Every structure is written in structure tokens, then in C-alpha cells.
Amino acid sequence: MGSADPGPSRRGFLGSTLALAGTLPLIVAEPVAATTAAAAALGPSGSRYLALSLSEAAFVEAMVNALCPGDRLTPDGVNSGLAAAIDANLAGATDGVPGQRALFKAGLAAADCACRSRTGRALTLLAPADARRFLWDVAAGDVNADFPVASWWADVVDPMLKQACFSGIVYDTYGSTMFWKMFG
């Protein structure tokens, strides 16, 4: 990443999760074939996601790709399984918290509205560096919205991203080495 990127780097973000990884609830993963089949199946929204509508899925994909861009060591956030892991959590396929889906979706809608208001464009249409900058502003509490998006980020999105980084969906697909290989 260039020096113009605000906030911590992807490796810094992932490094900070190592201490928390041991405190997260264990996820019982389905076999890879079942996970792949579930991801390929079309959900009620017409997307391959179970809990997210098409527009919500596009936001989540833009979010995980902005936060975890592909590089020579790893694929981007979507191709590494982060968006699918978040969707599985929201669908209750993992350790989803009751009401978490509604809270996630309300915060996502507010963040998307705030992004459109601030930039004139949806998060999905921003360049990755601009999307990353907006997301770090959300996390820092520097985005005005009708919904407490900074709390949404801290209490819902950030823990869900950290859990997704070390979930069965990502681990099963990449032989338990996807994000750990950068640290070992």
C-alpha cells in the first residue's frame, strides 16, 4: 500500500487480531464441499448469499476488498472467503447473535447513505483507496449518519471481520493458512 493510505495496513489489522483470535468462539465448519455448494446456491435475494440482498452483498464485497486487497501473498477479501463468512454468520450458519442480522443491515444502510452523502457515490463505486479511507473514517467516528455507525463498526463489523478471518470457510478453503502465513 502507498503512503497515501489512511489507517493501519491489512497486515497490521490482521496482526491485531492474533491476540483476539483465542477469545473468539470456535466455529464449527461444514466440509468444504458443503460450504462451496451453499455459497454457489442462490439465496432468496437472487444472489449467492443467504442473508444479504444483492445491494448489501455488493457493499460487503466492496468493504472486504477495500480492507483486504489482493496482493502477491493472498487473494482479495471476496476471493479469500471473507464476504461468504460474514454472510454465513448473518444467516445463522455459524455463531450468529440473535438480532445481529437486523443490526448489521441497519448499519450497512446508514453507512451506505453516509458514503453517498459524503462522496456522491456508493461505496461500491469508489476506488479501493477511497473506500478504505471512508471505512476507516466510519471506524474512527468521523462519519455523520442518522445511525451510530462508529458503534456499529466497533460492536458488529470489526468483530465479525476478525471472526471471518479465522473462520472455517476461509480455513477449509486455504488449508488453515490463509491469514496465518503472514505471521509464521
**Domain residue ranges of the chain, discontinuous segments joined by +:** 10-182
Between 179 and 116, the more confident residue is 116
CA distances in angstroms from 89 to 11, 111, 117, 144, listed in the order given: 23, 20, 29, 27
pTM as predicted: 0.69
Give CA–CA dist 39/42, Å, rounded.
8
Query: Other CB atoms closer than 10 Å to residue 155's CB: what's the count?
Result: 14
Query: Other CB atoms closer than 10 Å to residue 69's CB: what's the count?
Result: 17
CB distance 139 to 154 below 8 Å: yes
So what's the pLDDT on residue 83?
92
CA distances in angstroms from 9 to 6, 20, 124, 168, listed in the order given: 8, 18, 20, 24
Give CA–CA dist 154/104, Å, rounded.
11
CB distance 89 to 164 below 8 Å: yes
Lowest-confidence pick of 15-29, 62-76, 119-133: 15-29
So what's the pLDDT on residue 30?
33
Q: What is the mean pLDDT of the chain?
A: 74
Give CA–CA dist 94/30, Å, rounded.
9
